[in-house]
């Protein structure tokens, strides 16, 4: 008999696999602690490592009959300094320094910056951030192959440290040759989400979509200030969004990051696109068994704002307490969902509806479920759009997603409030009601005599054709 797992919360948990968590036993423990989607970071590890982790995840998924999402995170372009003759130099505040394309080893006056795209984009007054912003260099004079700079904030420059250009759009593709090779490999592993780094403009998303060709859903990582200038267009072209606060916090003043986070989450909520809040959520749990109170509040804030998912990075990839970090995140989310103020806010914060039958039916399903005290909303979906619409409404009850597609079930595992189940398509109204009732009962969403609200599209199996709403009473199987 297959085991079933039901989460007692609506917001989801994404966890990154790495050296601390890439075993069968640990992945199972993370899943049981609350992970809904596993992230594979292609900045680290080999293809063989990632293939083995996908196999482990699918084994757990099959054992528990519980669809699990697999997300790959592409590295994107990495802009780095060259090397120094002593490995590093100390650059005092106010000191002069030069960056250029000369492929010679650097010293205390200059260094190679092997990225002509940067020199094309910068102008006098542009700031360059080195080593995650620890050193800030301001351009005094520049040309096609050099920049003369002053250290506004001095510090140590060392071999291959990263360089950020916060106030410029770089003429560079978001996808490197490594990314393209990684993407081709990952798509052959039937992964579910592709997180795309270094998105600066809508054209970057379009490039990624063309390569993915519908084989996975595309998640745009918003980590560049320039992306915020095109927020609505990027959201529209993406299947989901990640608020990548790490890199965003390097190129954006710290006081602006919470505002950007709220703006991004709001835009995704309006569009009905899933949104993840990521980076440094429980950072102290890399080395400690409990988080700081500020970190707990940070996770809770993301949930209160309406994020579909919150993400753990190094906490589960390389930390000393990966299971404890997931368990803590699960407890924080669950506690927020028990707060009457959270429930009251959900009931007042609904996006504007489009003038379509599908939106009208979905909004009605939320209202009906609330009025009749239904145990769950059951959505039949082929493409996932019916379920996404239901989640966009943030109903006060769980959303049971029934689909014949394992791929769609895995994709919506990341979506707020959704419990996906893979089942055969229905062909009649009676079959629709009977199956919804039986699965709601079997998965612990409804007891005998409880009511459920069902949405579907007729003809059955037609993508995007939500036009049926039905109230049903749950009966226990004979």
Q: How many CA atoms lie within 13 A of 199 on its CB side?
A: 36
Q: Quickly list DSSP for 222-286.
A: E-SHHHHTTHHHHHHHSSEEEEEHHHHHHHS-GGGHHHHHHHHHHHHHHHT--EEEESSSSGGGG
Q: Is 29 a catalytic residue?
A: no
What is the phi-psi region of residue 108: left when phi exceeds 0, alpha when psi lies from -120 to 50, beta otherwise?
alpha
Q: Are 456 and 379 in contact (CB under 8 A)?
A: yes
If residue 127 lies in a helix (H) or strand (E), which one and from where to where? strand 127-130
Torsion from C-alpha of 16, 413, 391, 474, nearest 10 degrees:
-140
Any residues with CB less than 8 A from the CB of 12 and at least 6 apart, and which? 36, 37, 308, 309, 310, 413, 414, 415, 416
Cα separation, 119 vs 32, whole angstroms: 49
CA distances for 164 relative to 121, 172, 329, 389, angstroms: 12, 13, 31, 38
Residue 93 falls in the annotated catalytic set? no
At residue 303, what are phi and psi to the nearest 5 degrees?
-70, -45
| Residue from 295, 183, 302 nearest 241 by CA | 302
Write out the H or E segment, with its range, that includes residue 421: strand 418-422
Q: Which of 56, 161, 221, 366 is catalytic?
A: 221
User: Annotated catalytic, 16?
Assistant: no
Catalytic residue (one of 7, 9, 12, 39)? 39
Partners of 381 in the beta sheet?
A: none
Q: Which residue has the tokens 């978001």?
A: 174
Per annotation, catalytic residue among 252, 279, 382, 387: 279
Beta-strand relationship, 96-100 and 88-91: unpaired
Active site residue 80: yes
Active site residues: 39, 80, 221, 279
């Amino acid at each position: 008999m297959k085991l079933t797992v039901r989460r007692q919360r609506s917001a989801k948990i994404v966890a990154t696999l790495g050296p601390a968590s890439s075993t069968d036993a640990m992945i199972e423990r993370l899943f049981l602690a609350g992970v809904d989607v596993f992230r594979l970071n292609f900045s680290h590890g080999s293809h063989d490592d990632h293939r083995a982790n996908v196999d482990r995840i699918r084994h757990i998924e099959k054992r528990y009959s519980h669809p699990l999402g697999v997300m790959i995170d592409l590295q994107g372009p990495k802009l780095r300094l060259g090397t120094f003759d002593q490995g590093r130099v100390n650059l005092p505040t106010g000191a002069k320094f030069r960056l250029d394309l000369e492929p010679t080893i650097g010293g205390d006056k200059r260094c190679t910056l092997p990225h002509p795209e940067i020199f094309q984009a910068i102008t006098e007054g542009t700031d360059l951030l080195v080593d995650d912003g620890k050193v800030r260099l301001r351009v005094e004079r520049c040309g096609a192959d050099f920049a003369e700079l002053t250290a506004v904030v001095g510090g140590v420059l060392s071999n291959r440290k990263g360089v950020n250009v916060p106030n410029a759009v770089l003429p560079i593709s978001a996808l490197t040759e490594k990314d393209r090779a990684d993407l081709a490999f990952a798509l052959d592993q039937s992964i579910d989400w592709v997180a795309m780094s270094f998105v600066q403009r809508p054209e970057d998303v379009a490039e990624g979509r063309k390569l993915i060709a519908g084989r996975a859903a595309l998640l745009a990582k918003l980590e560049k200030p320039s992306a915020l200038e095109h927020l609505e267009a990027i959201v529209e072209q993406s299947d989901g969004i990640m608020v990548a606060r790490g890199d965003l916090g390097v190129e954006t003043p710290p006081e602006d990051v919470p505002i950007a986070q709220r703006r991004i989450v709001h835009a995704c909520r309006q569009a009905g696109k899933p949104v993840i809040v990521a980076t440094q959520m429980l950072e102290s749990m890399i080395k400690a068994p409990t988080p700081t109170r500020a970190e707990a509040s940070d996770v809770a804030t993301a949930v209160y704002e309406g994020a579909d998912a919150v993400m753990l990075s190094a906490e589960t990839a390389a930390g000393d307490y990966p299971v404890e970090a997931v368990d803590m995140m699960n407890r924080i989310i669950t506690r927020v969902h028990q707060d009457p103020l959270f429930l009251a806010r959900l009931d007042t914060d609904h996006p504007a509806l489009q003038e379509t039958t599908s939106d009208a039916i979905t909004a009605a399903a939320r209202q009906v479920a609330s009025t009749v005290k239904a145990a769950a909303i059951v959505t039949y979906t082929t493409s996932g759009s019916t379920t996404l619409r239901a989640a966009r409404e943030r109903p006060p009850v769980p959303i049971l997603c029934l689909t014949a597609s394992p791929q769609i079930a895995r994709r919506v595992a990341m979506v707020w409030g959704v419990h996906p189940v893979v089942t055969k398509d229905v062909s009649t109204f009676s079959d629709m009601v009977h199956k919804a009732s039986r699965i709601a009962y079997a998965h612990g969403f409804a007891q005998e005599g409880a009511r459920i609200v069902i949405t579907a599209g007729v003809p059955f199996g037609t993508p995007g054709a939500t036009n049926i709403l039905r109230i049903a009473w749950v009966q226990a199987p004979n």
